[in-house]
Structures are given as structure tokens and as C-alpha cells.
Structure 1
């Protein structure tokens, strides 16, 4: 069992230990209690452990919201101060270090102080307490040989992280993190990684190129992965082929089944008015589907032709290319946990030196704007007006003379051009520097797990500007911290020396926004260069933007030595568009966007955004948005007093795929599942004005990026 419940020794109550999340907290009662195990089915929601105690009150040492449901699960009310009459109730207390549910038969009162939340029963009696781990960290690490057949046994256990096999596993809080995988001579599974018998099987040839693309399916279906000739998915009495077009079909299955689970789950715990359910053209018995076992339900889903479902599907968030090499096996649990579409390209298109694709001319000596124009670069030359300097060229230097012959990102770097994707985001796992994709690394993903266990009350942002001609971008400090309820510590520093830069990089800073010059000698400082690839550095910075020419290798070095992730450049960047992009990224990070989605939005506004990529963990954020979501508006005026507004909801932080969202418009009371795009027509000027004042978010209006806090429609 992942959760232990024991009586307190020096107070009345119990202590709850979550061995997966390594958390412990106390629940207080009004008398000494002796918890005894009771059925987990006593609770409305799934739980990992359940005990019963005799008490007249329950108190936890934190301020929380208490949600009350009737005995049949109907939501009655929620809040932090109210009373309820006699009855049978299911009560949820949130937030708590684990999911915490109570079941009892009594009237009760909810009260809070500045430190506690308390439930007092009208009549003392039996209270059943249920606990479920958030399971955002893995339950353990599977050791396995890395040959494909042995690896199949490990991949078959990814679904052990699921909290349920019902359609509700489409909620992110019911999808625990898959166990980790590491290479070893013998196959070994830790005690807390328990297999789930879903009845689903995935059959693929024992080759990496077939195994890697099914890892998200294996996780989401809790499926056994077994070797066979023809790729297929099986259940008792049915079979669905994954050929022809193996990778395409695999992606279609993930999208279709997740979508249908989100629709079917409205028959369960949350019978909300889901927009996607109301607008579907599918004639299915939703109630019957909800009650089916996972494998049987999956078989019926796949009887629906994909072409009938495709028009209703939202744009999926992430595609990850995982090269079919054994050294990439440790990345599989992270990729699966993100519900990424996975491709495993055996070959990849290298970027030749003379293609002019805006990657610093691949080490060539001529880095001028005229060279970019001669080569016909669709990226590198953008924004380079005559006389404008770039952030790494020889025309502007500081501290020392610039070398005339500079490697762009390093001769040892191989640039690759992955196949285009249909998803919002794109990640790359394997050798090479990908154009227009997130270079994902194992170290960064492990740091994501560490970062998830830290609670911070203040967000630290450091802006470093090491060139006086770039001081305009230094004003981004004013764009960080423009948030209610979020406390920022913001510092701006100029013209740092090598030693000062070392100290900055070692500091415990949540986000470093660097403005200056970079070349093959490293980051330019006031007295010399600091090469992060050579220097013996301690890195404490969590995430970063290195807004300088050809900063990829310096950013990669930061990730290798301790950062989670950051945004870097692959080419020379002209100062003006670089300044604008830096300002956009600053506002987006301040608004709670992760690195990948922030860069995606910036690319919509600036073509020069394609000179930038994310390295490390593209899901890294520095704070949470007020609504918890990454949300982008697009506004179109249809007549003098009416507008059409669209809202794109992106997964972000804890609000991952399958979370519910609503738009605060009187004309739209539906719920939507994430990811989704909401389009509302004939919206009045007053309604739009009220909506965009709720939170600081990006809004595209009249073909330009604006911000809700400053957009004036009058």
C-alpha cells in the first residue's frame, strides 16, 4: 500500500504517510481514535486507502475548501463556512497533501481559521476517511535489460500509475505518474509498482521503432505489450489493426479514445454540461459505455471509424520524436505520462551547411546579415535591417576584441530537421539539435519531479543585461510580477563580470532572463567571456531565456548542470525582434505559461520566433496562472457592438489533458475539456470587456498580439 494511516502519539487524530509523494500530514479529531481499515468502495471517488474512526470532528492544519455531495454523489455545495442538516454525505477537502474524502451520516458545520479547516458533526459517530495519492512522482523504478522483448515487460507496467481504469482516468488527477525505467542486467520491479489487469493487449514486433510509438497507449490503457508480427490492439473477442500507417494509426487511437472517455465520463462522477458531448454527432449509448470494463469499452470505441470522430477532435498538444535507440529507454515514462503522440524515426534529415535555414550558418565564418540574404535564409535574415546589430556578431563587442572566425554553435553540433507535426508542440529525444522542436533531456525531466515537491511563496526573477545597446529589453523587469496573489522578487543587473555571472548562475533563481552577446567563447561579460560548456560551474537557476545569438550550447550546458529548461537561439538574432520576443516571453512566463507554449504563442506574432527552441523540460513554468490554465484569446469585431471571440485552452502544470474549463461569459455556461478551442459569436462589447479584465492573458486582435489588461475596445 502506498499510504499508511497511524494514530497520533501526542495528540488526538491520525498521521497519513504517502510513500509515493514522500509527504506526511496530520488529521486531528476531538478524541483519541483507533483507525481500522474499511472498504475503499465506501467512498464516492477512488481512494488508495480507507479507514474508519469514531469522532465528533475532523480538522486539518491548512485552509481548504470543503465540497459536499449527497449519498448518491449529487454535488450540493462547497465553501469554507456553511452548515448542512442531517443526512448521508460524501465530503472532499481540498487542497490537502493527498486527496482527502470523508463519508458519514450526520449534519455538520464547516469553519476555517487563518490556519485550519474544521468539520464539526452534529452527532459524533463513525467517519470513514479515504486518501488517494496525487501520484505526481513515480512509485518506483523498474530495472530492465534494454533489448525490445525485455523492455516490453517494463512498458506493460507503465499503467500501474493509473488510479482507475474507468473513463475518469481522462482526468489528470486520476492518472498517476508512470514508474521510471532504468537499464540493468536483470528485470526487477519495486514492491509499490503493481500491475493493473485492464484486459487490453498491444501486439507489436520486438523492435524499438514499433515499441516506442505505443508507450502512451500502453500507459493510458494499462495494456500488456507483447511481441507479435502484425501490430494490433486486442481485447477478448476483438482486434484492431495498427497497420497500414502504424504511427499515424497509433496517434489516431490515442486521440479518439481519450476524446470518447471525456464524453463518456459525464455519466459518472461529474455529470457536467460538456460542450463536446452536446455537439457530438456520434450515436452511442453513453451510459452503457461508462459501465463497461476498460478493454470492452475500448473495443467499442474503435468500432467507430476515425473519420467520423476526427472533425470533433481538438488539436492535440504534443508530439515527441524518440529515436529508436536503446539509450532512450529512460525517457519513455516521461513521454507516456505527458500522453504525447510518439514517433520513432529511424532516419532523420540532416541540415546541410549550405541550406541557409537560420542555424548560425552551421559554423561558417561569415555571420553577417548580407550572408544571410545571399544564402536565401528564411529565418536567419529576418529582421536584419542594414546597420542593425545582432546579439553575437563582431560588429558589437564588449570587454575583449572579437574573433573574426567564430564557430556558430560548435563544429560538433549536428542539426536535424524533424518531420513536421500537426500538434501544438513538438519535442525531440535523441542525438542532434532539432529545428523548431524542444530538445528534451532526461536530466531536465528528473528535475521536474524534484521541482514538483517544492512549495514556494515567492517567485524570483533575475534580468541580466550585459550590453548597453540592449537596455530597452531590460525593461522586461516591469512585465514580471504584474500579478495579484503572486509575489515576485525581481532584480535587474547590468554589465556583470565573469565572477559575478558565476554567482548569478549558482543562485537559487526561478527564472533568468539574459540579454547580451554569445559566441563560441561563451557568454560575454564585462571583463571577458564565460563559457558554460568548459567552466566548472554550480547551477542553481531553474529556468531561463538566453536572448543572444546562437545561445543553444550555452543553454544546453545550463540544463546539463542543473537547470530544468530554457529558451535558446540557433542563429544570429537581430536586436529589435529579439527585444520584442524577449518582452513577449516575459509576459507569458509571468502569466503562468510553460516554456513550450510560451514560445508557440511568440511564434504566432514573430516569424523570428522560429530562430528559438526550447531545451530541457518544455513543460517548466515559473508560476501558475490565476485560472491555472494557459489561455490565448483571439478577438474579431463583427459589427459596431458585437464580437467573435475564441479561446484556446492549453494543458499547463497540474491542469493537464482532460481537465475541465469554462469561459466566464454569460452566453456560454458549458464546460470544455482541455485541450480545446472555444468559439463564441455575437458577444457584446461589455461582455468581452468584462471577460478580458479577469486575468492578464495574451489576446490577438486586429492581427496583432495584445494583452487583456491593456486592450481598450472603446
Structure 2
């Protein structure tokens, strides 16, 4: 069973642990409880685990919306403050780290504080609590030859995972994970993978470079993909061309149709007050659109010029470059399941020393180390711990270090990267995140790998319900960064087991890597001989090495190959370096990543935020599954606050909400501020003008959040000091 329910030890209530998603939260009651199993069928919506307790109240430590349905499932009301008379009710509480449903026979009231949501029954009663993991599992694996026409038949079945063809499939929990694809001699489909008849066809030439960019469309529209000359989308009585600019047009169709579904779905089961619905410039009959079949509705969406919709579209989250190679077919369900914009570049631009930001970090002569960082060198002086001489401040390929870097004392013949490594420079993207599928090490993109994505789906039995973080520092001069252990334990809602270890031997490091650690934060030296330990080097590419660590940050010089080895041998995702990194900025970045991971960010978004603060963040990339998290944020979504002081005593506030973990694209977010009483789609930018400092501080009391105050990164505990100075 993936979800464990245990009584709390130091309070009245239960702890809910989802071992698949590494999420944990507490549900409080007004008396000690002994949860006992109840049938999942007690609940209106499907659940994975169901228990019953005797209680007079249910409280969760977050601000949420409570949705109430009658015994037949008819929606009666929703909100955060209301009363209901006696009756039989099905109640949903959202957001929570798992789907949370209650069922009981009693009148009740709903109330919220600035930190909690509480349901008080008119009298103590038996309350059924149902939990459903937000994790999604494929229904099976399609076997297919990998020629483009055979593969079209497999891609046509990606939409079989959709739990509805209504606009509600824009909710991540109603999309389902597409079936997997694997190469084989014959085309075979498992019985549980059944096609959905949506009436949509996607016509593309039978070539990988045309097929790969439409996989997300095929999934979201449950479309049949068929061979033809002119790329286009067809429905009954309409055709939409995908040329010129084929990949760009496919991306526009995904963004436009998804956004319009999110607006139309407010006419259905979830008639929430949606900011984007109230502010849209589109004058359409949303109720009529909601009731149309998928193909007909899509045709009417695409009758609206993209230019009319574009101004109100949020920045999309992810672009994935998938090289047009048959060896990449197994990645397609994962890419589609993320609703990624997909490109399929036929040619690759090699990275060389003349290419600008990024490659200069890989050892190009004439690069000034002090100029490559934004704030990591206090006072603007030269960082004496950087790789070139303090006088010239240059990175020189193969030169000996004048100070401390995160590399070990390898020979001077060693270049800034291993000679066999081929760096590639993908084309820039307009999305927050960028992933790369194919040969080569991408600059500024997540090197995505199949084995890491498969580990999303593995259900392992976890013996403890705490999140384990291990900080290993194998160099005395870097012990300052070892203090990051304090940052991982800041939250009071998630229980962390945090250990710090220094000067590990090879055997001790091997044992560490084999252990079931949720996150390893390594500080020290790495080179082509491996990870430096107290008694030599441990090469993580050794065939006999077993890896139990789930995610990691290898904050050391040139740690890409060692990190890639961790992924191939059992880890899900991690952050690594592509070059030598100076100690001071590496320490700063390590502390930023620690705090972001503690706040529930995934690896890709955490690195995205860190790069906004540190130019040297471009020396780092994500390997494996960039969507990996070690815990969930209180808000579900990952939030970044941007505060700008004004001429008055108020602040202008821009809140960026990023999809994260189970709270994927299309989720709803509610901002707990008096000036904003609407729901917002994720991803989103919520712009609120003239907010008082006290209102901002009260809002920040809810959760530890990264804040860009006057464009500099800070955190909740530092905001008072900054605003007082301002």
C-alpha cells in the first residue's frame, strides 16, 4: 500500500504518508483517534486508502477550499467559511498533499485561520477519511516496431489514459499517465489500454521530426495520428494547418486549447471564481463550448486566432527537445504526460569556447572569474577561491588552480571537462524549464534519461515516514556549506531526518550511496577519477556500485559524469556541474538549492530560480527526472514572490506559481490575501499592486518562500530587515 495512516504521537489526529510522492501531512482531531479500515466505496470519488475515526472535528494545517456534495454526489457549495444543516455529506478538501475526502452524517461548519482549515461537526460522529495518491500509473505497455508509421499507432493510444474528454481533463488528476511504449517486433496492446474516440485526427508525414512534436497533442486530444503530406489537425467538418513553422504551430495549439479548456471547465463540476475567466478578452459562449464533443469544441477553439489568445496565456512550463531518433521512442509517453512543448531538432550545435555565456565556464581562456558571478563575492572583490590567478582572474584550460575549487588535485593535462564528453547547445526556449532527450550534454537544459523517468512509477515499500536528507562534506575548507543541514529542517509540517557527515572514506561513501536516502547533498571534490574520499577516490561508474539515494546535489567540480552514473544505477534525479566551480559561488548556490528543496521545489524549477540570482548557476544542469521533489510545499504549487518597493509605504507584489509534483499544469491556486479573492490557474503570474508591508508579512507567515526583493533573492526571515531599511 502506498499510503500509510498512523496516529499522531504528540497531538490528536493522524499522519498521512504517501510513499510514492514523498508527501506527508497531518490531520488533527479534537480527541485521540484509532483509525480503522473502511471500504473505499464509502467515498463518492475513488480513493486508495480509507479509514474511519470517531471525532467532533477535522483540521489540516493549511488554508484550503472545502467542497461539499450531498449523498448522491451533487455539488452543494464550496468555500472556506460556511455552515451546513444535518445530512449525509461527501466533503473534499483541496489543496492537500494527497486527494482528501471526508464522508459523514452530521451538520457541520467550515472555518479557516491564516494557517489552518477546520471542519466542526454539530456532534461527534464517525468520519470516513479517504486518500488518493496524486501519483499516476500507466495502464500498461504498448509494444511496437519503431518505424514512424507503426509508431503512429502507438502514439494514437496515448490518450487512452484520459479519464474524461470534457474540459475537466485540464485538471492533472483527470488526465492519467499515458501507457508506456517499448520497441518490439510486433505491435501489441495490453487489454487495459483502450482507445478513446475523440473524433480528432493529426496528420503528419511519417517521419520522426514530424511525429515527435505532436505527441502531447495526441495525448491531450486523444487523437488518431495518421500519415499524410501536409501537417494538420482535423475534426468533423474542419481542418487546421500546422504549417508554416510546424513546431511553433503545434506549441500554439497546445497552449491555446489547454487555456480555453481551463476557462470552459468553470461551467461544469467545478464552477469556481477563476481570475483568468473573469479577465479574458475572449467573448465566447463558454457554457455552449463546455457541452460540445471534444472535436467540435477544439474546432471552435482554433477558429479563434492565436494572436487574440496569446496576451493572456501564461508562460508555459516545459519544452523538451527529443532528437528524431528511434532510440528515443520510449521517452514519448513521459514527455506527453508532462504536456511538454516538443521540438525535434535534426541538427545539433556543438558547444565550443566561442559561444558566449555557458561555454566560457568550461575553460575558455580570457574569461574573468569575478565577472561570471552576480553577488557571490562579497564587496565585489576578486574571489581568491576561484580557479585562475587573483591577478588575472582568468579560467585557463588545464591550468593549475591558484586557490580552492570543487575539483581535486588532478593532473594539469586534464581539461575542464572529460575529453569524451560532447556538449551541445540547444536552441533557446520561451518556457521556464527545458529538457533534452538524446545524445550529448545540453547546456542550460535538463539531461533527461529513460531510467530516471521509469523510477517515477516504481512503488517501493518505505519503512519510515520521515524525509531523509544526508549532507556529506569531504573537504574541511568547504564546511561552511555544510551548515545547509539547518535549512532542510526549517519546516514544521514535514518531518525531516537530517544527518551531516564529514570526511567519508570510500567504504563509508559506498554505504551512504547504497542507503535509502531521499536527498544527498554532497560537498567536496570530484574529477575523472571519481568522488574524493578521505582515503582516495570512489568512482561512481564502477559496475558493482548499487545506488539507493533518490535525489542529489553533487556540488563539486565537473560532477556531470559521476551524477549521470548515479542516475543509471538507481537515483531519480540530481543537480550536477559541467565545469570547475569556484568555492564561494558554489557554497551560495548550494544553500539556495537546499532552501528551495526544503520549500518543495522540484529540481528543474529550483535551478531555474537559483540561476536568476547567480550567473554561475549556468554551470549546473539537472540530470535524470527534473520533476523530482523531496517534499511538497504547503501551497502545493511552487511559489516565487517578487516584491518591488514603491514611493509609498506599500509594495507591488508579483506571485509566480509553478507546476510542481502532483500539482501539475491546470491545477488551481488561491492566494490568501484580501486584495485577491479569486482562484488562479497554474502556471500563473498574480500581479497585486500596493500591498502593505504588514499584509505581505502575514502572507509570508504561511510558508517559507523565495522572495526577490528589489530583484535580489531573500527569504521570509530576512524580509523584515530589508523592508525596514527601505
Residues in 1 aligned to 2:164 and 2:605: alpha-carbon distance in whole angstroms = 29
| Pairing of 1:146-185 with structure 2 (within 5 A) | 146-185=146-185
Q: Aligned match of 1:520 in 519, 528, 548?
A: 528
CA contact (8 A) 1:390 1:549 kept: no
Residues in 2 aligned to 1:608 and 1:140: alpha-carbon distance in whole angstroms = 42
Residues in 2 aligned to 1:99 and 1:161: alpha-carbon distance in whole angstroms = 22
1:591 corresponds to:
599
1:9 corresponds to:
none
Deviation sequence 1:32-73 (CA, Å, 0-9, x none): x9x99xxxxxx987x799xxxxxxxx9647998885224684
Segments of structure 1 that go 5 or more residues without pairing to the other structure are 1-19, 37-42, 50-57, 112-116, 123-128
Residues in 1 aligned to 2:699 and 2:408: alpha-carbon distance in whole angstroms = 52
4+ runs deviating over 3 angstroms: 25-29, 58-67, 70-84, 89-102, 106-111, 117-122, 129-135, 353-362, 374-387, 389-402, 451-456
**Length-normalised TM-score, structure 1:** 0.84
SS at match of 2:260: helix
1:388 corresponds to:
385
Label 1:694 to 1:466 Cα distance change in 2 as closer, same or farther (>3 A): same
Residues in 2 aligned to 1:132 and 1:381: alpha-carbon distance in whole angstroms = 44
The question of 1:263 aligning with 2:263 is answered: yes
SS at match of 1:427: strand
Residues in 2 aligned to 1:319 and 1:640: alpha-carbon distance in whole angstroms = 40
CA-CA distance at 1:179 after TM superposition: 0.5
SS at match of 1:349: coil
2:660 corresponds to:
652
Label 1:500 to 1:149 Cα distance change in 2 as closer, same or farther (>3 A): same
Residues in 2 aligned to 1:203 and 1:400: alpha-carbon distance in whole angstroms = 54
Residues in 1 aligned to 2:423 and 2:465: alpha-carbon distance in whole angstroms = 40
Residues in 2 aligned to 1:511 and 1:96: alpha-carbon distance in whole angstroms = 19
Residues in 2 aligned to 1:371 and 1:380: alpha-carbon distance in whole angstroms = 20
SS at match of 1:710: helix
Residues in 2 aligned to 1:236 and 1:673: alpha-carbon distance in whole angstroms = 30
2:62 corresponds to:
none
Residues in 2 aligned to 1:335 and 1:394: alpha-carbon distance in whole angstroms = 41
Deviation sequence 1:623-654 (CA, Å, 0-9, x none): 11112110000001113321110100000011
1:8 corresponds to:
none
Label 1:636 to 1:72 Cα distance change in 2 as closer, same or farther (>3 A): same
SS at match of 2:458: helix
CA-CA distance at 1:93 after TM superposition: 8.3
| Pairing of 1:412-491 with structure 2 (within 5 A) | 412-450=420-458, 457-491=465-499
2:220 corresponds to:
220
CA contact (8 A) 1:44 1:73 kept: no
Segments of structure 2 that go 5 or more residues without pairing to the other structure are 1-19, 22-34, 60-65, 110-118, 389-397
SS at match of 1:350: coil
1:241 corresponds to:
241
1:204 corresponds to:
204
Q: Which moved more, 1:130-139 or 1:282-291?
A: 130-139
CA contact (8 A) 2:361 2:619 kept: no
Residues in 1 aligned to 2:358 and 2:660: alpha-carbon distance in whole angstroms = 30
1:284 corresponds to:
284
Residues in 2 aligned to 1:530 and 1:455: alpha-carbon distance in whole angstroms = 28
Label 1:61 to 1:445 Cα distance change in 2 as closer, same or farther (>3 A): farther
CA contact (8 A) 2:405 2:583 kept: no
CA contact (8 A) 1:398 1:524 kept: no
CA contact (8 A) 1:360 1:570 kept: no
| Pairing of 1:493-504 with structure 2 (within 5 A) | 493-504=501-512
CA contact (8 A) 2:387 2:405 kept: no
| Pairing of 1:346-361 with structure 2 (within 5 A) | 346-352=346-352, 355=355, 358=358
Label 1:243 to 1:398 Cα distance change in 2 as closer, same or farther (>3 A): closer
Residues in 1 aligned to 2:171 and 2:460: alpha-carbon distance in whole angstroms = 19
CA contact (8 A) 1:355 1:375 kept: no
2:296 corresponds to:
296
SS at match of 1:711: helix
Residues in 1 aligned to 2:571 and 2:150: alpha-carbon distance in whole angstroms = 33
CA-CA distance at 1:475 after TM superposition: 1.1
Deviation sequence 1:548-607 (CA, Å, 0-9, x none): 111111110110111111111111111111110011000000000000000000000011
| Pairing of 1:616-627 with structure 2 (within 5 A) | 616-627=624-635
SS at match of 1:705: strand
Q: Which moved more, 1:403-412 or 1:630-639?
A: 403-412
SS at match of 2:498: strand
2:275 corresponds to:
275
CA-CA distance at 1:468 after TM superposition: 1.2
The question of 1:551 aligning with 2:559 is answered: yes
Residues in 1 aligned to 2:670 and 2:195: alpha-carbon distance in whole angstroms = 36
The question of 1:605 aligning with 2:613 is answered: yes
CA-CA distance at 1:267 after TM superposition: 0.5
1:677 corresponds to:
685
CA contact (8 A) 1:581 1:609 kept: yes
CA contact (8 A) 1:99 1:133 kept: no
SS at match of 2:239: strand
2:516 corresponds to:
508
Deviation sequence 1:510-541 (CA, Å, 0-9, x none): 11111111111111112211121235211111
Label 1:356 to 1:549 Cα distance change in 2 as closer, same or farther (>3 A): farther
Label 1:107 to 1:606 Cα distance change in 2 as closer, same or farther (>3 A): closer
Label 1:99 to 1:205 Cα distance change in 2 as closer, same or farther (>3 A): farther
SS at match of 1:557: helix
CA-CA distance at 1:96 after TM superposition: 11
Label 1:543 to 1:356 Cα distance change in 2 as closer, same or farther (>3 A): same
Residues in 2 aligned to 1:209 and 1:371: alpha-carbon distance in whole angstroms = 37
Deviation sequence 1:230-286 (CA, Å, 0-9, x none): 111111011100000100000000000010000000111111111111111111001
SS at match of 1:479: helix
CA contact (8 A) 1:407 1:520 kept: no
CA-CA distance at 1:119 after TM superposition: 11
CA-CA distance at 1:353 after TM superposition: 5.2
The question of 1:408 aligning with 2:450 is answered: no
Residues in 2 aligned to 1:597 and 1:357: alpha-carbon distance in whole angstroms = 20
Residues in 1 aligned to 2:341 and 2:536: alpha-carbon distance in whole angstroms = 45
1:534 corresponds to:
542
The question of 1:702 aligning with 2:703 is answered: no
CA contact (8 A) 1:566 1:618 kept: yes
Residues in 2 aligned to 1:651 and 1:514: alpha-carbon distance in whole angstroms = 27
SS at match of 2:311: helix
Give RMSD over aligned pairs: 3.8
2:367 corresponds to:
373
Greater relative contact order structure (CA < 8 Å, 6+ sep): 2
Q: Which moved more, 1:309-318 or 1:623-632?
A: 623-632
Deviation sequence 1:276-331 (CA, Å, 0-9, x none): 11111111001000000000000000000000000000000000000000000000
